Amino acid sequence: MADTPATLPTFSLFVYIQDAFSQLHSFLAQQKFLYKTKLLRNKIQTGWNNNAHIHQFALLRHTSVSLHKHQNIRFGVKMIGSGKPGKLKEKKGNPFAEEKCRDKYIDELSSTHALIYNKYPMVPFHVLIITKEFESQMAPITAADFHASLKVMGSMDYFIFFNGGPNAGASQKHKHLQAILSSSFPGDLPLNLLVKESKLKGEIQNDIQYTRVEAFKFAHVLCKFRDIIAGLSEENIKSRSKQLESVYSECLKRLGNSKLTLAYNVILTREWMLSLIHISEPTRPLYISYAVFCLKKKKKKK
């Protein structure tokens, strides 16, 4: 039966109301996420200032980050002494076990992850995203790991990095991702400046660009995407986490490291993910690792 003039406006009004409720639901979900990230930010800042042990060690390491340039690549260099105060000496066993994290604990991020302070911070507000139950640092990064990471990135201007195994720089076997404030570097994160200045070319799959940085003369994959934090909410964080997991898996595949047989590093910012093979692998021709935040010389074989 053909629509009558009376039914058309009624249908249009129904669609309008349905759309309005959908927008309201999305708005409320985003506001809920923003509220939770604000609470998390307050916990990070308050806990840092009140944690005497962490603060004491951070003060001992307190030196400014200076910028240097080598072969058109900027480095944020921070000189850190190797000495550790006696009271902060690491004990044997798993340092991320619940009973050992109480003085460093910040907040629960999910049913599977928690946020703690790095016991030996490189810069102020250096935090760790850890799995509650033991998982190996050799295991791949999962959607659950990215889900927890996005919450931390949403709370402050954090970027995330992951060291895949001991040869890649991980000092603990318990799975953990590290978060450092971009504002720890003068102006901007040096790698971020390089990505912005580079003329990137590469294929685009599902709005994700897979490319390389010409200045990097080692095996790596750079993935560019829209701001992953913009518009983040309780409603879409799960899908974005799965998207990051898919991007990460594709990077490993392109590096020929899907089975994680090679030491590797991952850096995640709001707009890109960089995956690279670590300097410890024989495929790396250079003597300086661009993945770490201090210069690390490759040991020569005797």
pTM surpassing 0.85?
A: no
Which pair of structure tokens corresponds to residue 62? 């307190």
- Closest by alpha carbon to 161, among 262, 266, 75? 266
In a 13 Å sphere around the CA of 197, the CA atoms on its Cβ side amount to: 12
Which residue has better confidence, 302 or 169? 169
Residues in the chain: 302
Determine phi and psi for 179, rounding to 5 degrees.
-130, 130
Highest mean pLDDT: which range of 1-10, 145-154, 168-177: 145-154
What value does the CA radius of gyration of the chain take, rounded to a whole number of Å? 22
Q: How far apart are CA 269 and CA 150, in angstroms?
A: 10
The yes-or-no verdict on residue 292 having pLDDT over 50 is: no
Q: How far apart are CA 95 and CA 99, in angstroms?
A: 9
Q: Is 69 helix (H, G, I), strand (E, B) or coil?
A: strand
At 228, the pLDDT band (50, 70, 90 cuts) reads very high
Which pair of structure tokens corresponds to residue 107? 């907040």
> Using one digit for the tens of pLDDT, what is the confidence trace for 123-168?
889 999 999 999 999 999 999 999 999 999 999 999 999 999 778 8
> Using one digit for the tens of pLDDT, what is the confidence trace for 240-251?
999 999 999 999
- Closest by alpha carbon to 266, among 220, 227, 229, 298? 220
So what's the pLDDT on residue 63? Answer: 58
